Structure 1
């Protein structure tokens, strides 16, 4: 199951991504946390030193593409593969349970509390003024397009702030999107944007209230977002200590906040895994990107990369390599 944490800058989505990844890992099963935010802080929130962070996926796109395309005859080269290129017969697919593939081996590391961590990486000096951050986040889109994840397996993605996620088809790659909102007008403004953009794509969303100080804050959020309000996390001294770099374990977390994390996990587990929608939208966004820019960029008709006989999900057809 795949879950994205989104919200305005400062809402606490990175902290909640880390807490949820830790909590879910503590319940068993593989968990991979991915930092896809332009501000790369998820590793820190998971207790990682900078020196222990994994190789940045965004700096090794050619290597990732070369591996994922495998023997797919529809993809002529890594340079002809773009962020939306869907898998087909011959492509290499990824799994979370005991992964032995090159992508996880080279770009994922274990964190102290169990989740594996992958990162897109920050801007480099060479990127400034000439590159868009979505070129790096494209590595995450390719990863998710080629991932076979099942029940009890989790990918937790800390997305870039605001509605910027809609600049690519990445927002459709999740079983659930959690919008982290503080109990303020600014906090719920991103929710309205996300709700309206997502409505046409059947993207399941829910709101997680954060930094809540009392019943008045909860009531405000309920008035603003209605039935989309899933749960609220209380203002937490334990979380503040974690953010300040002090020693932290889940046992330090207030019982009400532990219950909130459990409710989020149960809600995620209750989502239907809709491989048909996933595949249909992967193809849809690939064709849109091909027509808008990718055909010109590669000098090829990338519509030909779509394999009409490939079935998304853990099926006999999709597992042919």
Structure 2
């Protein structure tokens, strides 16, 4: 199952991504956490030192594309493969239980809690002034397009702040999106914007109230988001200690906040995996990007990359890893 954490900058979405990753990893099964935010702090929140972070996916897009395209005859080269390119017969697909394929093996490291961490990476000197961060986030979209995941397997993605997530089709790649909202007008504003954009694409969104101090804060959120409010996390001394880099374990978390993480996991597990919708939307956004810019950038008609005989989901046929 795939879950995105989104929200206003400073809402605590990175902290919630890390807490949910730790909580889910402790319950067993493979968990991959991906830092897809321009501010790369998820590794730190998961207790990783800077010297322990994995290779950045965004800096090795050609390597990733070469592996994923495999022997797919519809993709002429890695240069012709863009962030929205869907898999087809001959593509290499990814599985969370496999840790030694060329993607997980080269771009993931194990965290102290047993999850695997992948990162898009920060801007480097060559990017400044000339590049858009979505070029790096495209690595995550390719990864999710080629991933076959199921029940009891989890990908947790810390997304870019605000409604910037809608700059690509990545927002449709998830089984659930948790929007982290503080009980403020600014937090509610981001929720409304995200809700309205997501509604057109049947993207399920639930609100997670964060930094809640009392019943008044809960009532404020309930008044403005209604039934979309799934659960609230209280202001936490333990979480603040984690954010400040002091030793932290899930046992340090207040019982109410631990229970809130359980609510999130139960809600995610209750979602129905809709491979048919995922496939339709992958094709939809590929065609949209091809027409808008990618055909011109590659010099090819990228609609030809769509394999009409390819079936999205566990029955998909691909090259072995």
Q: Normalising TM by the smaller chain, what interval?
A: over 0.9
- After superposition, residues 150-165 of structure 1 pair within 5 angstroms as 150-165=150-165
Provide the secondary structure at the position in 2 that maps to 1:248. Answer: coil
Residue 171 (structure 2) aligns with: 171
Match of 1:65 in 2: 65
Q: 1:39 Cα shift?
A: 0.1
User: Equivalent residue of 2:131, what SS?
Assistant: coil
Question: Which residue does 2:207 correspond to in 1?
Answer: 207
For 2:302 and 2:119, locate their aligned partners in 1 and report how far apart those are by CA, in whole Å: 27
Corresponding residue number in structure 1 for 2:293: 293
In 2, the alpha carbon distance for the partners of 1:320 and 1:213 equals 50
Measured in 2, the distance between the counterparts of 1:320 and 1:109 equals 25
The answer on whether the counterparts of 2:6 and 2:159 sit within 8 Å (CA) in structure 1 is yes
In 1, Cα distance between equivalents of 2:269 and 2:205: 14
Q: How far has the Cα of 1:97 moved from its partner?
A: 1.0
Residue 222 of structure 2: aligned partner: 222
The residue number in structure 2 matching 1:263 is 263
Per-residue deviation, residues 182-206 of structure 1 (Å, max 9, x unmatched): 0000111110000000001000000
**1:262-285 C-alpha deviation (Å, 9 max, x unpaired):** 000000000000000000000000
Q: CA deviation at 1:114?
A: 1.1
Which residue of 1 is the match for residue 317 of structure 2?
319
SS in 2 for 1:94: coil
Q: Report what 1:303 is aligned to.
A: 303
Q: How many residues align?
A: 319
Q: CA RMSD in A?
A: 0.5
Matches of 1:115 and 1:224, distance apart in 2: 35
Q: Secondary structure at the match of 2:103?
A: helix
> Which residue does 1:92 correspond to in 2?
92
Unaligned runs of 5+ in 1: none
After TM superposition, list the pairs within 5 Å mapping 1:14-163 onto structure 2. 14-163=14-163
Instruction: Summarize deviations over 1:216-270 as a string: whole Å, max 9, x none.
Output: 0000000000000000000000000000000000000000000000000000000
Q: Secondary structure at the match of 1:147?
A: coil
Q: TM-score scaled to structure 2, two decimals?
A: 0.99
CA distance in 1: counterparts of 2:2 and 2:15, whole angstroms: 17
The secondary structure found in structure 2 opposite 1:60 is helix
4+ long deviations beyond 6 Å: none
CA contact (8 A) 2:47 2:111 kept: yes
d(CA) in 1 for partners of 2:226, 2:97: 37
Which deviations, in whole Å up to 9, do the C-alpha atoms of 1:42-101 show, x marking residues without a partner?
Answer: 000000000000000000000000000000000000000000000000000000013331
**Any idea what SS the aligned residue of 2:118 has?**
strand
Which residue does 2:182 correspond to in 1?
Answer: 182
> Which stretch has the larger CA shift, 93-102 or 61-70?
93-102
Gaps of 5+ in 2: none
**Superposed displacement of residue 177, structure 1:** 0.4
> CA shift at 1:163, angstroms?
0.0
Following the alignment from structure 1 to structure 2, what is the Cα–Cα distance between the partners of residues 176 and 168? Answer: 17
1:284 paired residue number:
284
Write the deviation string for residues 107-153 of structure 1: whole angstroms up to 9, x where unpaired: 00000011100000000110011000000000000000000000000
* Distance of 2:111 and 2:60 partners within structure 1: 22
2:200 counterpart SS class: helix
